[in-house]
A and B are shown apart, each in its own frame.
Chain A
Amino acid sequence: MSIKGKAYIGGIYEHPTRLATDKSLAMIHAEVAKGCLEDAGLSKDDVDAYFCAGDAPGLGPMSMADYMGLTKLKHFDSTDVGGSSYVVHVGHAAEAIALGKCKVALITLAGRPRAEGMATGTVPRSRGGSPTPDEPFEFPYGPTVVNMYGMAAMRHMHEFGTTSEQLAWIKVAASHHAQYNEHALLRDVVTVQDVVNSPMISDPLHRLDCCVITDGGGAILVVAPEIARSLKRPKVKIIGAAETTKNQMGGAVDLTYTGARYTGPASFAEAGVKPSDIKYASIYDSFTITVLMQLEDLGFCEKGKGGAFVSDGNLISGTGKLPFNTDGGGLCSNHPGNRGGLTKVLEAVRQVRGEAHPKVQVKNCDLALAHGTGGSLGSRHGSGTVILERE
């Protein structure tokens, strides 16, 4: 059984805030849910399935379902694989709808790390009293978000000759897109030189190789075909989805690839399309290296050739072969709650609907991909891919 064509994206919403000192976490979840239902033209009482991840306060979906007054739930899922959770949720919602478990599935994300002054990328985090089995063998060495991705970048450079200038092109492309997004945190267009001359955070990643830290959130509504047909919105059909985890493999560490090596081919096979058919790609961009490795693993270019592929503006809408992250992505626009998977789906939906900013809208964008990585490329991570088609 396949989910191909069994479910649609009926509504989307992205919170405009990037600094939410005036809001509670639960409030942002509710605001994005409301915005998403309004986008679809549905009401709260139409929601019969709810999906959230570790950013939602409380145990699984219970507190948020209570807070928002979701009283008609027949299905829920709180799979948490970090920033990739919400891409995975889209696939899970499509599965549940295909099985007839529910018809209107709401996915929400919210976070306020900026308001809370969280040192997101540069301080090691411990789980305290209940460590994961790996933690005693890693935490004492000071792994942070940036130096873990830094090790992946360093190894990629060693094996394939990838350069900082090539990585910088990814940020340059994102900045070209962000200039048109009024909500983007960083709207200035930057150059390769700006990126490589920005301060080194953890070798070989510079400040401008890193995504922004913002508050905010977003929501997605996955709906059954009969619901999609009843809505006055463009029809965005889910035609492929896949998920996996990738880890250290008992010490057989290989930092040169990501879980996309499985989720790419699996989702393309389900959708019955190939990478060269894709008109637009939302690619998780916690760091420039994240984008480069995922592009390789998804099959947009050969392994090791990502540096050449992203260079010279190839990811810029209107000039490049593969327009990516046309909202500015995590590198420039937002990274709500340090989890960027949901906003990847949002911009892919906008592109397929034809509702992206006119300056970055891809012509005749009938096929798009969204991919998320959650956790760390340097140790263990979750991966999720979805492929969307305009009907």
Chain B
Amino acid sequence: MAEKERKLPAAVTSPETEEYWAAAKEGKLLVKKCKSCGRTHHYPRSLCPYCFSDKTEWTTASGKGVLYSYSVMRRAPIPYALAYVTLAEGPTMMTNMVDCDFDKLKVGQAVKVVFKPTEGGGALPCFTPA
């Protein structure tokens, strides 16, 4: 479809999360995993939100997931699909569904990560039907 591209803002980074954004620029989706309890979480924190251990590490996600929910904002100058995707690694992340016909989206469908350029030369993990 002839979808005009929305401008995506540059990421706001912090010492806690700059690795995530650096990896996104390289086309990799990182998630944080806790070495103490073994659970993976998102958005990334230094301290595990499940067990509060500070032994968390970055791992590269497969980029595969399932569409948990979505909503197509029809009132925006360029309509877009806000979504939650449940990653194969466990956590559910907020994202956009892109490069697809919004009217054919279905909760539960398989999706895969794609990276969209942001202002300032960065990249934002988005998803598209697998």
Contacts and interface: CB of A to CB of B under 8 A. Distances in A.
B12 interface: yes
B70 A250 contact: no
Contacts of A143: 82, 94
Interface string B8-24: 11011110110000000
Contacts of A154: 69-71, 107
B113 interface: no
Contacts of A158: 69, 107-108
Contacts of B59: none
Contacts of B93: 137, 251
A248 to B, nearest CB: 8
Nearest to A139: B9
Nearest to A136: B12
A251 B91 contact: yes
Interface residues of B, number: 44
Contact of B45 (A133, A148, A249): A133
Nearest to A128: B12
A151 B71 contact: yes
A203 B69 CA distance: 11
A135 B73 contact: no
Contacts of A203: 70-72, 74
B96 A152 contact: no
Interface in A132-180: 133-144, 146-148, 150-155, 158
Contacts of B16: 133
A59 interface: no
A17 interface: no
Measured as residues with beta carbon below 8 angstroms from the partner, the interface class of chain A is 35 or more
Contacts of A255: 68-69, 84
Interface in B41-77: 41-45, 48-50, 68-76
Interface in B71-91: 71-76, 80, 82-84, 86, 90-91
A251 B92 contact: yes
B73 to A, nearest CB: 5
A135 B49 CA distance: 17
Contacts of A137: 42-44, 93-94
Nearest to A144: B73
A133 B124 CA distance: 17
Given A133-B43, A140-B9, A146 B73 contact: yes
A117 interface: no
A244 interface: no
A384 B59 CA distance: 38
- Counting chain B CB atoms within 10 Å of each CB, the highest count among A158, A199, A250 belongs to A250
B73 A122 contact: yes
A253 B43 contact: no
B40 interface: yes
Given A202-B71, A202-B73, A255-B69, A142 B90 contact: no
Contacts of B40: 251
B64 to A, nearest CB: 15
Contacts of A253: 68, 84, 86, 91-92
A214 to B, nearest CB: 19
Given A137-B43, A141-B94, 6 more contacts: A139-B12, A140-B8, A200-B74, A201-B75, A202-B74, A202-B82
Interface of B: 6, 8-9, 11-14, 16-17, 39-45, 48-50, 68-76, 80, 82-84, 86, 90-96, 107-108, 118, 124
28 contacts: A136-B11, A136-B43, A139-B12, A140-B8, A141-B82, A141-B94, A141-B95, A141-B96, A144-B82, A147-B72, A147-B82, A150-B82, A151-B82, A154-B69, A154-B70, A155-B68, A155-B69, A158-B107, A158-B108, A199-B74, A202-B71, A202-B73, A203-B71, A250-B41, A251-B41, A251-B92, A252-B92, A379-B94
Interface of A: 122, 131, 133-144, 146-148, 150-155, 158, 199-205, 248-253, 255, 379
What are the 4 closest A-B residue pairs judged by CB atoms, nearest first? Answer: A251-B91, A150-B71, A250-B49, A137-B43
